């Protein structure tokens, strides 16, 4: 509700009022701190309504994003006209609002309005502030001044609002970037930690595999050595047999080729010597292997060999039972060498069962103490057993009953066991199969040198001050 201006206002009063109004307008930005465009618009229109004797006020603000905000203050037509209707009437009468004249007349219904538009921002790019009155002399210079100052204030506030919004958006973008980068760094960090853990695990398993592998190759070396001896010796043997065949043919020809036969005989001797040299070299290599004597539990040594043979047993569908004496006395021995003997026993047992289909496929590995207090290990199988004729020759080198055997395993096993002051044997079972075993004396001197740990004694010592 606009109060009509007093009929007579002295110039000095008018000037004083105008200055007061201007100061009010200039202080407006202090309450627009948060850059809300609709708050800016509403505040400026409320202030102007109190200052100016006008019939309507119209403000159009165009935000940075292109959206426009339209606000109206009416006296005469309150409740009958809306902001968008006035905007339409203004646009229809005046054309593009950026080109509006400084003053104009428009018709709203039957009324003629004298209006004055004040552009917001340069050339009104940010909007327009319009005041309208039925008074013909509207606007006065003071009213125009106040409108223009108000429009400028709105422009500055809108600019500030846009800047704040941009800043806020920028902050949000930056925050997002920081959050994103933080997340990236964190996931990189996690991946690194994971990789370190994986690498450590891989290294550990590699080290474990290496030490297992070296152990396996040492235990397996009997078989490997037999194969390499076979290969090396077979080459010159082949020459020997071929040469002998040739000499035979040369001597039985008519007339006999004596010169040729002598030459092949010479080669036969040379190849024979070569074979002997290879055997010497290989046995020297075998003797050179260092013997490592340690105090050991034969149960542990046997358990490892059984584990190594697991796949061999499984492949041949053989059931193995370990019957180990608990608290078996310790012995001093070369663990790898004894494991080679056990491995050899197991291999022979598996081969014997595989070659002999009698239904039962069972191996029993036993450890026990004999009457002479020797630590014993036996491998009992359900295979083909031992021929009585073979019994005495079992442990002779190159004696074999296998189609592809070398006759080396048991002779080397005998050598190993005897170098431990032990005994080795093989007997035919009363049932099917055979049992091979060895016994090793408990070395009293070695054992007495061991530090004896008595838990009771240790306990007492700890309680003493």
Partner 1 sequence: MTIEERLISVVDDDESMRESLPDLLRMLGFDVQAFSSANEFLQSPWIKKTECLILDVAMPRVSGPELHRELNRRGEVIPVVFITAQRDERSRGPLINQGAVECLFKPFSGDELRDALRLVFK
Positions that interact with partner 1 (CB under 8 A): 227, 230-232, 234-243, 245-246, 248-250, 253, 260, 264, 267, 270-271, 274, 404
Alpha-carbon distance of 398 to 405, in angstroms, equals: 9
How far apart are CB 236 and partner 1 at their closest, in Å?
A: 6
Pick 230 or 322: Cβ nearer partner 1: 230
Peptide bond before 255: cis, by omega within 30 degrees of 0?
Answer: yes
State which H helix or E strand residue 338 sits in.
helix 335-355
Report the 10 Å Cβ neighbour count for 464: 5
Task: Output the smallest distance, CB 248 to partner 1, in A.
Answer: 8
CB 243, min distance to partner 1, A: 5
Output 403 or 452, the one with its CB closest to partner 1. 403
Q: Closer CB to partner 1, residue 148 or residue 242? A: 242
Beta-bridge mates of residue 73: 57
Q: Which is nearer to partner 1, 63 or 282 (CB)?
A: 282
Quote the CA–CA distance of 465 and 253 in Å, as a whole number: 101
For the CB of residue 442, give the shortest distance to partner 1 in the complex, in Å: 42
Rank residues 69 and 237 by Cβ distance to partner 1 and give the closer one.
237
> 180 and 52 in contact (C-beta within 8 Å)?
no
Neighbours of 194 (CB within 10 A): 10
Nearer to partner 1, 142 or 232 (CB): 232
Nearer to partner 1, 237 or 295 (CB): 237
Report residue 52 as tokens.
Answer: 């100016």
Give the residue with the Cβ less far from partner 1, 403 or 430.
Answer: 403
Contacts 24+ apart (CB under 8 A), 235-240: 236/271, 236/272, 236/274, 236/275, 236/278, 237/271, 237/275, 239/267, 239/268, 239/271, 239/274, 240/268, 240/271, 240/272, 240/275
Smaller CB separation from partner 1, 64 or 240: 240
Instruction: Quickly list H helices, 8-140.
Output: 11-27, 37-51, 83-94
Q: Contact at 8 Å (CB) between 100 and 128?
A: yes
Smallest separation, CB 281 to partner 1 (Å)? 16
In the complex, least distance from residue 242 CB atom to partner 1, rounded to whole angstroms: 4
Q: Which of 295, 441, 325 is nearest to 373 (CA)?
A: 441
Q: What are phi and psi of 73, to 5 degrees?
A: -125, 125
Q: Closest distance between partner 1 and the C-beta of residue 446, in Å?
A: 42
Contact between 344 and 352 (Cβ < 8 Å): no
Q: Which token pair is 336?
A: 């790898």
| Contact in structure between 365 and 378 (CB atoms under 8 Å) | yes
What Rg do the C-alpha atoms of the chain give, in angstroms? 56
CA-based nearest residue to 348, from 278, 290, 426? 426
Q: What's the rounded Cα separation, in Å, for the pair 102 and 148? A: 11
C-beta of 238: minimal distance to partner 1 in Å?
4
Q: Who contacts 388 (Cβ-Cβ below 8 Å, separation ≥6)?
A: 428
> Is the CB of 101 or the CB of 256 nearer to partner 1?
256
Closest separation between CB of residue 293 and partner 1, Å? 36
Q: CB-wise, 264 or 299, nearer to partner 1? A: 264
Strand ranges (DSSP E) for 290-352? 293-296, 319-323, 331-334
- Residue 376 Cβ, how far from partner 1 at the closest point, in Å? 35
Minimum Å gap between C-beta 303 and partner 1 is 31
Question: Looking at beta carbons only, is 105 or 228 nearer to partner 1?
Answer: 228
**Smallest distance, Å, CB 416 to partner 1?**
25
Look at the block and give the residue holding tokens 């090793």: 440
Give the C-alpha separation, 307 to 254, whole Å: 64
- In whole angstroms, what separates CA 134 from the centre of its chain? 81
């Amino acid at each position: 509700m606009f109060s009509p201006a007093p009929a007579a206002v002295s110039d000095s009063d008018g000037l004083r009022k105008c200055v007061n109004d201007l100061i009010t307008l200039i202080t407006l930005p202090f309450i627009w701190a948060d850059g809300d465009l609709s708050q800016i618009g509403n505040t400026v229109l409320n202030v102007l309504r109190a200052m100016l004797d006008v019939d309507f006020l119209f403000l159009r603000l165009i935000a940075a994003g292109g959206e426009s905000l339209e606000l109206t203050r009416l006296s005469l037509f309150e409740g009958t006209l809306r902001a968008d209707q006035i905007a339409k009437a203004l646009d229809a009468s005046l054309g593009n609002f950026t080109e509006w004249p400084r003053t104009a007349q428009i018709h709203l219904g039957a009324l003629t309005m004298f209006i004055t538009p004040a552009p917001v921002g340069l050339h009104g790019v940010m909007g327009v502030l319009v005041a309208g009155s039925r008074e013909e002399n509207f606007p006065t210079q003071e009213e125009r001044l106040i409108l223009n100052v108000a429009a400028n204030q709105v422009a500055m506030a809108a600019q500030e609002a846009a800047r704040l919004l941009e800043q806020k958006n920028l902050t949000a973008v930056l925050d997002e970037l920081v959050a994103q980068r933080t997340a990236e760094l964190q996931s990189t960090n996690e991946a690194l930690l994971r990789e370190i853990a994986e690498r450590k695990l891989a290294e550990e398993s590699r080290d474990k595999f290496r030490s297992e592998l070296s152990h396996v190759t040492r235990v397996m070396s009997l078989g490997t050595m037999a194969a390499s001896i076979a290969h090396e010796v077979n080459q010159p043997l082949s020459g020997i047999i071929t040469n002998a065949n040739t000499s035979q043919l040369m001597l039985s020809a008519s007339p006999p080729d004596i010169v040729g036969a002598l030459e092949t005989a010479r080669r036969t001797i040379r190849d024979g010597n070569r074979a002997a040299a290879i055997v010497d070299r290989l046995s020297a290599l075998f003797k050179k292997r260092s013997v490592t004597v340690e105090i050991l539990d034969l149960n542990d040594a046997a358990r490892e060999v059984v584990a190594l043979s697991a796949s061999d047993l499984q492949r041949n569908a053989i059931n193995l039972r370990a019957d180990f004496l608990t608290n078996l006395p310790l012995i001093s021995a070369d663990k790898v060498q004894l494991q080679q003997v056990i491995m050899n026993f197991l291999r022979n047992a598996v081969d014997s069962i595989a070659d002999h289909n009698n239904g039962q496929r069972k191996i029993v590995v036993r450890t026990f103490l004999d009457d002479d207090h020797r630590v014993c290990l036996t491998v009992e199988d359900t295979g083909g057993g031992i021929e009585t004729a073979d019994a005495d020759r079992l442990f002779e080198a190159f004696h074999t009953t296998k189609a592809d055997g070398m006759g080396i395993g048991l002779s080397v096993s005998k050598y190993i066991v005897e170098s431990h002051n032990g005994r080795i044997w093989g007997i035919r079972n009363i049932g099917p199969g055979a049992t091979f075993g060895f016994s090793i004396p408990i070395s009293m001197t070695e054992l007495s040198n061991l530090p004896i740990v008595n838990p009771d004694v240790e306990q007492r010592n700890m309680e003493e001050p």
